[in-house]
Structure formats: C-alpha cells, structure tokens
Amino acid sequence: MNLNLVLLAGRITQDADVKTLPSGQSLSKFSMATNTNWVDKDGQKKEATEYHNLVIWGKRAISLSPYLKKGTLIFIEGTLRTNSWDGDDGKKRYRTEIMINNLQFGPKSADGFSRNDFAEPASKAKNQEEEDSLPVIQSGEEIDEKDSLFIDDDDIDSDEIPF
C-alpha cells in the first residue's frame, strides 16, 4: 500500500501568485512556514522553521488567491510532487511542491482580526467616520440645540413619513 498525503498548519510567507497556462488552466503558487519546538538535552528551548512550496490548480486558484496573503494562518491537505529540470549550468535541479487538495483558513487572532493584509471593508470605515463625527457631551455640560440628538415633535411632518 502506498500513501502520498501531507497535512500542514502554518502561516503564508508570500502572497499567492496566479498564472494562466497556455492550455487555459490556472494555478496559484505560494509558500508557507511551519515551526517545530523542542527542548534540547541542556534544557534550552529550540525552534526550527520549515518552508513549503504550495500549488493550487483550477478555479480554486483564482477564487482563493485574493485571500492567500502573507501572515494568514492556513491548514492544508495535499500530496507531494517533485519536479526536475536541467539548469542553465547543465545540472539537474529538483523542486518539491505540495499540490493542495483541501485548504482551510485558520482562526482569527484574539483581537478579532486575522493576521493578513486584507483591506478594511468600506462599510466599517464609513461607520467609524460617522461615529467619530458624533458630538461628545460631558456630564453637567449644557447641550447646544445643534448638538441635540433628539428631534422636536414640531419639526416632524406626518406627510413625510413613508409608512
């Protein structure tokens, strides 16, 4: 029995790069890092980092690439594939890549935001601007009529109410 299966959890180290081959097939290449921690015989904590080359094919390459940003935590399942070619110097070169079959984005950090380069949604920025423009009234301070959040009943025209 043979088994070619890779399961990894780690952070993306470079943004995904989407390419379309002459055949029309799309692929996205990027890399991720995984860490291993241990204590050596002297009691010192040690850490080693491994870097992995990842490839996604087809429609998933196009649809996922905007979200595959540096620093994003992902979980992947895939298979190993080693490609070989002759280099410019005539030497045989090898590159081992993981062909992704399944990908899942990791949880967001404790502050509620994932560690990536996603832009802030426009609606959130607009809400923040509106919140920043609201007047702040301290306790015991007189309220200027223009700062009032309440509408005088005399200013309401019942014909303007849409329901």
Partners of residue 11 on adjacent β-strands: 33, 73
How remote is the C-alpha of 41 from its chain's centroid?
38
Q: Rounded distance, CA 20 to CA 34, Å? A: 28
- DSSP letters of 53-119? EEEEETHHHHHHGGG--TT-EEEEEEEEEEEEEE-TTS-EEEEEEEEEEEEEE----TTS--SS-PP
Per-residue pLDDT of the chain (163 residues; tens, 9 = 90+): 899 999 999 999 999 989 999 999 999 999 999 999 999 999 999 999 999 999 999 999 998 988 899 999 999 999 999 999 999 999 999 999 999 999 999 876 554 445 544 444 444 555 555 555 544 545 455 555 554 444 455 555 666 666 5
pLDDT of residue 1: 86
6-105: CATH number? 2.40.50.140
